[in-house]
Structure 1
Amino acid sequence: MTEESNSSHMVCDVYRDMHPFTYFYYLVFMVGFFGSCFALWAFTRSDSSQKCTSIYLINLLIADFLLTLALPFKIVVDLGIATWKLKIFHCQVTAVIIYINMYLSIIFLGFVSMDRSLQTINSSRLYQVQKRGFAKMISAVVWTLVLFIMLPNMLIPINDIPERDIVGCIDFKKEIGRHWHVLSNFISLAIFFNCSCIILISNFLTIKRLYRHKDCDEFLNIKQALVQILLVTAGYVICFVPYHIVRIPYTLSQSNIIMDCSLKQVLFFAKESTLLLSVSNLCFDPILYFYFSKTFRTKITKTFSMKKEVTAV
C-alpha cells in the first residue's frame, strides 16, 4: 500500500508552486514574532494577580511562540532549499507543531469567549468556573489532550524512502501513521466544531446582554465592547473556518480515496491557502491580548504614556 501511494504521489505532483506562499509566511512570522515578544514582555511585567481570561491568553501566547519556532522550517522547505534531513524533521516535528498551535488557539479562544460571556451574567453559581485555579487546571487538561492527539504523528516511525526532489509529508508515513493521521484529523475537526459552537454562542449571548443596555449612560463603553466582540468573531471565522471546510476532502485525497490528479492539486492549493489564513492568527492574537486582558492593556497604556511624557520633557 505504501509503495502504491508513493508512486501515485510521484505521478501526480501536487507539491509545486509553493514559492508565493513563502512570502506571506515570512510576513506572518515577522509580525507575529515581534507581536508575541511584545506581549510576553507586557504579561511578565504586569500584576501577578491575573484573572481567568489572562491565564487563557498566556497559554495562547505560549502556543504562538511554538508556532514562531515552526514557521522558519516550513518557509525553508517550501522554498525548496531544505536538505533531505531537514524535510524529514519538518514533516515529523515542525509541521505537527503548526497544528498543535492551531487547535490550542481554537480551544483557548473558546474559553476566552466563554469567560467573557460569564462575566456579563454575574451568577454566584458560576463563580467557581471563573477562578484562577479552575483556569490553570483546565489549561493543563487542554495541553494534555492536544498533545495526546498530535504527538503520535511525531513519534510513530516513518518510512525510509529514497531521496528525491518532490515529496510530501504523507509519503513518509507508514500504514499505522497514515491511519493515526486520518483519525487525528477527524478528532481535530470535532474539537473545531465544538469550540466554534462555544465561541459563536458565547459571543452571541454577550452581544445580546450588552445590547439590552444600549440606552444607559455608558453606551460608548458598551458600543466599544460590542465592536471588540464582533471583531474577535470575524477574526476567528476568517482564520479557521475556511481551513476546516477544505480539511475533509483534502484528507480524503491524502488517503487516495480521491484519485483524480487535477482535483488533488486543487485541494492541495486550497489547503495551503487556508492554512496560511489559520497561521495568520499569529498576527491577530496581540490585538486580542490588548482587548481582553486589562493587565496587558494597562501595561501597554502606561508604557506609551511614559514615553510621551519623557519626549515632552
Structure 2
Amino acid sequence: MTDNINSSHLTCNVNKDLEPLTYFYWIIFLVGFFGSCFALWAFNRKDSSQKCTNVYLINLLVADLLLTLALPFKIVVDLGLASWNLKIFHCQVTACMIYINMYISIIFLGFVSMDRCLQTIQSSKLYQIQKRGFATMLSVVVWALVLCIMLPNMIIPIKDIPEQEGVGCIDFKQKIGRDWHLLSNFISLAIFLNCTCIILISNCITINRLYKNKDGEEFNNIKASLVKIFLITAGYIVCFLPYHIVRIPYTLSQNDVITDCSLKEVLFLAKESTLLLSISNLCFDPIVYFYFSKSFRTRVTKTFSMKKEVKPVDSENTETAV
C-alpha cells in the first residue's frame, strides 16, 4: 500500500504551489483575530434583555475563535515549514476544526436570518421559538450534530506513512476513514443547501415585508435594513457558494473517481482558493454582529464615541494652559 502511495504521488503531486495563498490567510487571521477578540469583549457583559439572535451570534463567535486557533497550523503546513508530526496533527485535528467552523457558521447564519424574518412577521404563534431558552437548546443540538459528523474524521485511526513529499491529508486515512470522509462531505453539502434555502427564503420574506412599508414614516430605517440584508446575503453567497460548487468534483478526485492528474491539480487549486473565501467569513462575521445585535452595536458605538469625546477635552486643557 505504501509503495502505491509513493508511486501515485511521484506521478501526480497536487499538494503544491500553496505559498501565495498563505499571505491572504495571514491577513484573514489577523483581521479575524482582532475582530473576534473585540466581539468577545463586546459580548462579555450580562444583558438580561438578550434575545435569541444574540445566542446564535455568540455561538457564531465561539466557532470563529476555534478557527483562529486552527488557522496558524494550516498556514505553517501550507508553507512547508511544519514537521511531519505537526502535519499529521493538522490533518487529524485542526483541518477538521476549520470545517466545524464553516458549518457552524452556515447553520447559525441561517438561524439569524430566520429569527430576523420572524421578528418582521411578528406572529404570536411563533413566539415560543424566539425565546432564549429555545435558542440555547437548539444551539446545543447543532453543536452535537456537527461534532458527530466531524469528530470521526479526527478519531478514526490513520495509516503509518513514512515521511515524504506530496502526501495529502486524505492519504493518511484508512478505507473506513475515506468512506466516512466521503459521507461527511455529502452530509455537509446537504446542510449547506438547506441553510442556504432558509437564508434566501427568510431574507426574501423580510425584504418583501419591509418593502411594503417603504412609503411610511420610517423610510430611512427601512432602507438601511434592506441594505444590511442585501449585504449579509451577498457576503454569505460569496464566502460559501464557490467552495460547495467545487467540493463534489474535488472529493471525487480524492477518491480516484477522477484520475486525470492535470484535472486533479486544477480541482485542488480550486478547492484551496474557494476554501480561502470560506475562511474569509472570519472577517465577515463582525459585520453580522454589528448589524444584528443591538447590544453589540451599542457597545461599539459607546466605545468609539467615548474616544471622540476625549479629544476636545484635551484640546481645551491645552488652550487653558497656554
TM-score range, shorter chain: over 0.9
Structure-2 residue corresponding to 1:27: 27
Q: Percent identity?
A: 76
Match of 2:317 in 1: none
Distance across 1 between alignment mates of 2:281 and 2:159? 33
Q: Tell me the distance in 2 between the aligned counterparts of 1:176 and 1:10.
A: 25
SS of residue paired to 1:165? coil
Alignment map for 1:65-104 (pairs within 5 Å)? 65-104=65-104
Q: CA deviation at 1:302?
A: 1.1
Cα distance between partner residues in 2 of 1:267 and 1:166 = 16
- Taking the aligned partners of 1:9 and 1:116, their CA distance within structure 2 comes to 50
Question: Can you list the C-alpha shifts for 1:60-98, whole angstroms capped at 9, x where unaligned?
Answer: 000000000000000000000100000000000000000
Aligned to 2:113: 113
CA distance in 1, matches of 2:3, 2:134: 49
Partner of 2:193: 193
Following the alignment from structure 2 to structure 1, what is the Cα–Cα distance between the partners of residues 3 and 216?
A: 69
Distance in 1, matches of 2:280 and 2:44, equals 24
Residue by residue over 1:114-133, the C-alpha shift from the partner in whole angstroms, topping out at 9 and shown as x without a partner, is 00000001111000010000
CA 165–2 in structure 1, closer or farther in 2 if over 3 Å, else same: closer
Residues 176 and 126 of structure 1, relative CA distance in 2, 3 Å threshold: same
- What TM-score results when the alignment is normalised by the length of structure 1? 0.98
CA distance in 2 between partners of 1:137 and 1:267 (Å): 39
**Residues 14 and 166 of structure 2 are in contact (CA less than 8 Å); yes or no, is this contact kept in structure 1?**
no
User: Judging changes above 3 Å, is the alpha-carbon distance between structure 1 residues 3 and 251 closer, same or farther for their aligned structure 2 residues?
Assistant: farther
Per-residue CA deviation, residues 160-203 of structure 1 (Å, 9 max, x unaligned), is 00111221000100010000000000000000000000000000
- Report the aligned-residue RMSD: 1.1
Question: How many angstroms apart in 2 are the aligned matches of 1:101 and 1:187?
Answer: 15
Q: Give secondary structure in 2 for the equivalent of 1:65.
A: helix
After TM superposition, the structure 1 = structure 2 runs for residues 175-186 of structure 1, keeping only pairs within 5 Å, are 175-186=175-186
Q: Deviations over 1:118-158 (max 9, x none)?
A: 00011110000100000000000000000000000000000
Q: Distance in 1 between matches of 2:61 and 2:48?
A: 16
- Separation in 2 of the partners of 1:38 and 1:308? 18
Alignment check: 8 A CA contact 2:239 2:280 kept: yes
Amino acid across the alignment from 2:128: Q
- The secondary structure found in structure 1 opposite 2:95 is helix
The one-letter code of the counterpart of 1:170 is I
Q: Would you say 1:250 and 2:266 are equivalent positions?
A: no
Greater gyration radius: 2
Distance across 1 between alignment mates of 2:74 and 2:25: 8
Number of the residue aligned with 2:286? 286
Q: CA deviation at 1:46?
A: 5.8
Deviation at 1:48, TM superposition (A): 4.1
2:260 alignment partner in structure 1: 260
* Higher alpha-carbon deviation: 44-53 or 74-83: 44-53
Instruction: Kindly provide the amino acid, as one letter, of the partner of residue 101 in structure 2.
Output: N
Shift of residue 5 of structure 1?
Answer: 5.2
Q: How many aligned positions are there?
A: 313
What stretches of structure 2 of length at least 5 have no aligned partner?
314-322
8 Å CA contact 1:117, 1:206 repeated in 2: yes
> 2:5 and 2:199 mapped to 1: Cα distance?
39
Match of 1:130 in 2: 130
Deviation at 1:2, TM superposition (A): 7.2
- For the 8 Å contact 1:29–1:71, the answer to whether it is kept is yes
Whole-angstrom distance in 1 between the partners of 2:5 and 2:49: 54
Cα distance change, pair 6–256 in 1 and its aligned pair in 2 (3 A): farther
Name the residue aligned to 1:167. Answer: 167
TM-score by length of 2: 0.95
1:232 aligns to 2:232 (yes or no): yes
- Report the 3-state secondary structure (helix = DSSP H, G, I; strand = E; otherwise coil) of the residue aligned with 1:100: helix
Shifted more, 46-55 versus 120-129: the winner is: 46-55
